[in-house]
Structure 1
């Protein structure tokens, strides 16, 4: 347990949160900001006095809803994703860049037969393809080409910019890309198929479907960069209403790796299409679900903070609320007193 004494307060630090699937990373930050701004652990007496009596705001109200404590996260998780989210408070925010390029571990479920614009189930259906021929053995045989140091091309529906404009704007507006999307060197330390669900699951393809006009716009954008791609559907010729197969991958990757792209490209490699339906980050640098290595730090479950947001918790004999005690037990202090 880090040494936290009244004489050292307030402090700066880093801690991990287990983000649930659903909320955005920014909404998690907003809610945590409401708590840390009201805690003697992170706020000095002057700031605590200014905010005294103010109710916790459960929805962001822009600048008016921001409190005076610096807080940030070390690598966004999409709303669909759950798992480890590293939080920095005070001077801890200066250390967050360390977690952008650190080693990360994920588990993800791929649903075959359909690819989407976002490469996950939050997007719209762009193309369907045969999947019945895909077996566990075929997927496992294809994993080798996605292991080690590889060149990975980011998806066109991403916020990366080309000549000052996000890639997704080229795709949505049908503007030809001025050049191919530049591949990135990433390292896939390990990649394994840990569960073959087959058709025994409750996942389904997105109900939102790309129109022919939308598909044409994407094709036009990619053709501008010399990529000959067709988004024409290739449905199964039989048992089309059968539940498509799914499987679970576990991977350890370098920073900058697009997990969704691995799933998308792997599905192509086995002659099908696929997209992410679950995504869990179990490690971000030294912050993990369950410590297994020296220096690992466990994360605080989000439910603990939700309880704190109700602002009706009792304090322990040392004057700490439950969420504060949980953070203290897992906190990495940065640079001592602020």
Structure 2
């Protein structure tokens, strides 16, 4: 390992973590905080002394919060994996820069089924034909979702309208006070990188909305769109068939909903669709696979996971393995 040339310790910093699919972004931050709060890399000696003897506790982060500030620069859904930017100390003040930066994603769309969350963790809302969709038809449709577009966020999102989250209107059947406001976003590039067809293991969610839940959702939608319908299309084929899937790669501005692009694209094809995989491969300068001179490689989550179980021995300079991994990849603020 090359010698670290950081000016002094402790440091404030930014670094990227490769988030796995499954845990929430906040749980990742809380776990990393347990390590950061006990490291001379980030904590001054006086506060570090107070942390001595306190065991790692991944369920409670209060002690860690008292020792050092930590945050993340753009939440990833539990389903998603990939780049999660972490800020420590004064680095937390730089995290806003990553909310509006250019981001790159890869996502798999599964046709034939629309869900309330627009992804596979939600419940079935509507089934629609998918057999007519070909790769050529998708490629023809992609340009209308490229460039500067107006995107309407999903009704099952945490965005608030008159102080109430949108998902609350949908779940309780409360009419929306007004249509969901579209937002201007930029899709710099959008392409198919793999046509899976039916050669995959993805299936529609088993969870379905009850008739009461469907009625509530339709009530909320019809308050702003009279012809809104969430009924299955009558010509829908048997559920036993394996539906078509394909993988999209996109480079987008901050604030873009990948799930909405997949949902709206499927609608434009006369079908329905939802996200079954989602990977963020770039967030600003932090990337999974560096290709440009200024690209910053991210720290694999396994490095932190291993340290949380056993922090390990220090080297001759007093650094543990996880600290060395972070020092190789951080930006000193």
TM-score (norm 2): 0.96
CA distance 1:36–1:64, change in 2 (3 Å): closer
Shift, 1:225, TM fit = 1.7
Shift, 1:91, TM fit = 0.1
Shift, 1:62, TM fit = 6.5
Shift, 1:63, TM fit = 4.3
Distance 1:113 1:272 in 2: 6
Ranges in structure 1 where 5+ consecutive residues have no aligned partner: none
Shift, 1:66, TM fit = 4.1
Alignment correspondent of 2:13: 13
Shift, 1:3, TM fit = 5.0
Ranges in structure 2 where 5+ consecutive residues have no aligned partner: none
Distance 1:214 1:55 in 2: 45
Deviations 1:1-48 (A, max 9, x none): 79545x711010000000000000000000000000000000111111
Shift, 1:75, TM fit = 0.1
CA contact (8 A) 2:34 2:61 kept: no
Say yes or no: does 1:262 pair with 2:261.
yes
Deviations 1:196-223 (A, max 9, x none): 1011100111111011211111111111
Give 1:301-320 correspondences, 5 Å limit: 301-320=300-319
TM-score (norm 1): 0.95
Alignment correspondent of 2:187: 188
Alignment correspondent of 1:201: 200
Say yes or no: does 1:222 pair with 2:221.
yes
Shift, 1:270, TM fit = 0.5
Alignment correspondent of 1:23: 23
CA distance 1:258–1:323, change in 2 (3 Å): same
Distance 1:184 1:330 in 2: 34
Give 1:76-87 correspondences, 5 Å limit: 76-87=75-86
Alignment correspondent of 2:112: 113
CA contact (8 A) 1:2 1:329 kept: no
Alignment correspondent of 1:293: 292
Distance 2:191 2:280 in 1: 15
CA distance 1:147–1:237, change in 2 (3 Å): closer
Say yes or no: does 1:74 pair with 2:73.
yes
CA distance 1:4–1:56, change in 2 (3 Å): farther
CA distance 1:2–1:69, change in 2 (3 Å): farther
Distance 2:282 2:234 in 1: 37
Alignment correspondent of 1:162: 161
Deviations 1:250-285 (A, max 9, x none): 000000000000000000010100000000000000
User: How many aligned residue pairs are there?
Assistant: 332
Alignment correspondent of 1:99: 98
Shift, 1:228, TM fit = 2.2
Alignment correspondent of 1:273: 272
